[in-house]
Structure 1
Amino acid sequence: MKLNDTIVALATPSGAGAIAIIRVSGPEALSIVSPLFKAKSKKNLEEQPSHTLHLGNLVDAERTLDEVLISVFRAPKSYTGEETVEISCHGSPYIQQEIIQLMIRKGCRSAEAGEFTMRAFLNGKMDLSQAEAVADLISSENQASHQMAMQQMRGGFSNEIHRLRQELLDFASLIELELDFSEEDVEFANRDQFKELVARIQQVLKRLIDSFATGNVLKNGIPVAIVGEPNVGKSTLLNALLNEERAIVSDVAGTTRDSIEDEMSIGGVGFRFIDTAGIRETEDKVESIGIKRTFEKISQAQVVVFLLNAENFKVESSKFKVEIKKIHNQFPQKPLLILANKIDQLVEEEKTRLYKDLNEVEGASLQLISAKTGAGVEELKTKLLEFVNTGALRNNNTIVTNSRHYNALLQALEEINKVEEGLNSGLSGDLLAIDIREALEYFGEITGQVTNDELLGNIFSNFCIGK
């Protein structure tokens, strides 16, 4: 990828729309666009200051392509840090392609995926973790993922890493200085202060590493497995939650033979609901495969919802308790919510007895609902939110969501632990310096202070073209 030429791409989604934005960035952006633009004000585009808007016609020789609005961003005060022009045109796919092809004929190159953001990183407009947050922000589908991406893009995570790296770097410099005066046996780096710093770095790293478990599920959506016997209303519940006919509903037991997944946002947090095949003894080979997949989905879920028919519970309570305990014993760490469905068929006395019986089941909490009428569905949504640790999100704490950052933090902590062991055992400065350098390198990998072309290629290839 050449990074000293001028690139062009559509910055808005492809297809027809009210308007489209075509982005041009590079050293010749203004000199390429200016001769093609006839401003209503008669002004020369190349002479205009940064952050100004200009209305006029974009022309190809004698042919007018469109009436456009052009935004001028002078280097370094642009997204990429380069000379940048953004052309707002009418959203016809034909017009979009005509303008892009015109720019290419006049000297631009089609931008590759993520190339604008890569140039922003290389020109110091953002560090690598902030650049990755741009992709997360574009793909965010709920309030939680949006909030985490914004916090990272504003530099919350980067600032913590930069601060730790700088403090460690300062001590590393003093230890390196000691090596230059090894014959004089002097000590520039106070070992007690260094131990305090190492302990503080360990604490921060552990907090960030622990946050990944929360950040990963919040970013990708909380998987919730809806399980239970056939024909208890799992598909009806899924449809009630999503407020649409997503799953087939039938009186015939075993209708759902594979898992059905869909997503929705509850309280700003994404949930991924999985309607599974009913659990029962069966000789049907296809249904058996579906039941086997049900247990696979339970293992992948963050929350398990066990749905039972409240009417049948009166005569089959012992069987239900055995099934619930089986799931709880197999997956003891997963929150288990018992949903007694079809309560619209019960009188109050029966509901009270149901509560008493089911609350005796270890490791589970109970909710009464009617998937058919919608009674209790809103209370169910509130209960699901209680299972999600959103405290860090509410307090605007740094939450790690990127597996690359997570792995680098794990490796940095491993090296810091080696530094602590070395300090406690009185290891010499030259050997301490080796472990410190390794830790500094892992910190630098997160923010991009230490990087390589292959890493950058992998990261930015996941971006959309035009960003």
Structure 2
Amino acid sequence: MIPTETIVALATPSGAGAIAIIRLSGKDAIALADKVFVSVSGKELTNQKTHTIHLGHIVDNGKTYDQVLVSVFKNPHSYTGEDVVEISCHGSTFIQQQIIQLLLRMGAKMAQPGEFTLRAFLNGKLDLSQAEAVADLIASDNEASHQIAMQQMRGGFSNEIAQLRQELLNFASLIELELDFAEEDVEFADRTQFNELLTRIEFVLKRLIDSFAVGNVIKNGIPIAIVGEPNVGKSTLLNALLNEERAIVSDIAGTTRDTIEDELVIEGIGFRFIDTAGIRETTDHVESIGIKKTFEKIEQAQVVLYISPLTPKGELNSMP
């Protein structure tokens, strides 16, 4: 069942800033905003066209909270498919909270995390794949993950699957037609074309399954474990890659007892480098725990950089 309550929440990151946006969505969104908004030109929001912006003040019982810009989006031409109002106010946390509390008192309900996107999905503005891509797009921190999220949000996967589904339905209807006229010995469906379609569907599904693993790695950063014996330069390599003293370096064997991770973006792709404890036989209990973690990281990593005492300077052994 599609919810009908009007919801409100901060649409920009929490905390102080130059500007903050407070979003209302629901059948009473425009009417609720009208109760607290006083336009400088005396306009009422309920009488305004969709996709318009209005300058005014948020006022309650004669008290002015802020000068704001109010954007009006009428259903179904909005992100959620409902009436939507976005209030652009100054980014003071006090102003943000005062406006939100005022709207709650007027009858709005606090939105749950992701509820605006949920309503967009329920109202048919986004399919499930696109809705999931919204979170990935927000979380993208490099060019590769951004491009994947944008492609998914544009409906790249959904359109391909929808086209294959339509072709399957067409063939299914032709086969059912043959069954209805089985005694007539008439063929309506081209068997060769049908087999080609099944082969293409199998190929597309396999490609989508494979792309999930690749996309997940790109989104989270490609994990690269730096492994080797103690004192072969693993921590020195990590510090050199990051251009900072991220890991402690000393001549004492077994200095690194735990894994140290940090991310580096190279040509738009995130790489998560993991410095590990040196692998050797030891009676030290704490160091043994660190070595155990090293082997765990080796299993989880997409790439393993093995540094041996005999590795020439500037050369590395890479094990996928």
- Pick the TM interval, shorter chain: over 0.9
Match of 2:56 in 1: 56
Q: After TM superposition, give the deviation of residue 2 of structure 1 in Å.
A: 5.8
Q: After TM superposition, give the deviation of residue 181 of structure 1 in Å.
A: 4.1
Shift of the 80–181 alpha-carbon distance from structure 1 to 2, 3 Å rule, reads same
Between stretches 227-236 and 133-142, larger displacement belongs to 227-236
CA distances 1:327-367 after superposition (whole Å, capped 9, x unpaired)? xxxxxxxxxxxx644x6xxxxxxxxxxxxxxxxxxxxxx44
Counterpart-to-counterpart distance in 2, 1:290 and 1:40: 66
Percent identity over the alignment?
Answer: 71
Counterpart-to-counterpart distance in 2, 1:289 and 1:367: 26
Answer whether contact 1:260 1:276 (CA < 8 A) is retained: yes
Aligned ranges 1:172-187 → 2 under 5 Å: 172-182=172-182, 184=184, 186-187=186-187
Aligned ranges 1:20-419 → 2 under 5 Å: 20-182=20-182, 184=184, 186-309=186-309, 313=310, 340-341=312-313, 366-367=315-316
CA distances 1:388-433 after superposition (whole Å, capped 9, x unpaired)? 9xxxxxxxxxxxxxxxxxxxxxxxxxxxxxxxxxxxxxxxxxxxxx
Answer whether contact 1:307 1:340 (CA < 8 A) is retained: no
Q: After TM superposition, give the deviation of residue 45 of structure 1 in Å.
A: 1.5
Counterpart-to-counterpart distance in 1, 2:58 and 2:87: 9
In structure 2, the gaps of 5 or more residues are none
Counterpart-to-counterpart distance in 2, 1:190 and 1:2: 43
Answer whether contact 1:80 1:119 (CA < 8 A) is retained: yes
Secondary structure of the structure 2 residue equivalent to 1:12:
coil
Secondary structure of the structure 1 residue equivalent to 2:66:
strand
Counterpart-to-counterpart distance in 1, 2:109 and 2:51: 24
Counterpart-to-counterpart distance in 2, 1:47 and 1:214: 50
Counterpart-to-counterpart distance in 2, 1:94 and 1:176: 65
Match of 2:9 in 1: 9
Match of 1:458 in 2: none
Q: After TM superposition, give the deviation of residue 161 of structure 1 in Å.
A: 0.6
Q: After TM superposition, give the deviation of residue 218 of structure 1 in Å.
A: 1.2
Match of 1:397 in 2: none
Counterpart-to-counterpart distance in 2, 1:59 and 1:174: 64
Answer whether contact 1:174 1:188 (CA < 8 A) is retained: yes
Answer whether contact 1:27 1:82 (CA < 8 A) is retained: yes
Answer whether contact 2:226 2:234 (CA < 8 A) is retained: yes
Counterpart amino acid of residue 218 in structure 1: I
Q: After TM superposition, give the deviation of residue 227 of structure 1 in Å.
A: 0.9
Counterpart-to-counterpart distance in 1, 2:248 and 2:111: 45
Counterpart-to-counterpart distance in 1, 2:177 and 2:112: 45
Considering Cα pairs closer than 8 Å and 6+ residues apart, tell me whether 1 or 2 has the greater RCO: 1
Flag the structure with higher strand content: 2
Q: After TM superposition, give the deviation of residue 180 of structure 1 in Å.
A: 4.0
Q: After TM superposition, give the deviation of residue 184 of structure 1 in Å.
A: 4.9
Q: What CA RMSD, in Å, does the superposition of the two structures yield over aligned residues?
A: 2.1
Q: After TM superposition, give the deviation of residue 28 of structure 1 in Å.
A: 0.8
Answer whether contact 1:231 1:251 (CA < 8 A) is retained: yes
Secondary structure of the structure 1 residue equivalent to 2:107:
coil
Shift of the 113–180 alpha-carbon distance from structure 1 to 2, 3 Å rule, reads farther
Counterpart-to-counterpart distance in 1, 2:78 and 2:50: 9
Secondary structure of the structure 1 residue equivalent to 2:271:
strand
Shift of the 189–231 alpha-carbon distance from structure 1 to 2, 3 Å rule, reads same
Shift of the 182–113 alpha-carbon distance from structure 1 to 2, 3 Å rule, reads farther
Secondary structure of the structure 2 residue equivalent to 1:3:
coil
Counterpart amino acid of residue 65 in structure 2: L
Q: After TM superposition, give the deviation of residue 136 of structure 1 in Å.
A: 0.7
Q: After TM superposition, give the deviation of residue 216 of structure 1 in Å.
A: 2.1
* Count of matched residue positions in the alignment of Structure 1 and Structure 2: 320
Runs of 4+ displaced beyond 6 Å: none
Shift of the 181–101 alpha-carbon distance from structure 1 to 2, 3 Å rule, reads farther
Q: After TM superposition, give the deviation of residue 85 of structure 1 in Å.
A: 0.4
Q: After TM superposition, give the deviation of residue 185 of structure 1 in Å.
A: 5.3
Q: After TM superposition, give the deviation of residue 186 of structure 1 in Å.
A: 4.3
Secondary structure of the structure 1 residue equivalent to 2:81:
coil
Counterpart amino acid of residue 298 in structure 1: I
Answer whether contact 2:307 2:316 (CA < 8 A) is retained: no
Flag the structure with higher helix content: 1
Counterpart amino acid of residue 138 in structure 2: I
Shift of the 2–108 alpha-carbon distance from structure 1 to 2, 3 Å rule, reads farther
Secondary structure of the structure 1 residue equivalent to 2:152:
helix
Shift of the 182–111 alpha-carbon distance from structure 1 to 2, 3 Å rule, reads farther
Answer whether contact 1:276 1:294 (CA < 8 A) is retained: yes
Aligned ranges 1:427-442 → 2 under 5 Å: none
Q: After TM superposition, give the deviation of residue 89 of structure 1 in Å.
A: 0.9
In structure 1, the gaps of 5 or more residues are 314-338, 344-365, 369-383, 389-467
Counterpart-to-counterpart distance in 2, 1:80 and 1:286: 53
Counterpart amino acid of residue 8 in structure 1: V
Answer whether contact 2:2 2:122 (CA < 8 A) is retained: no
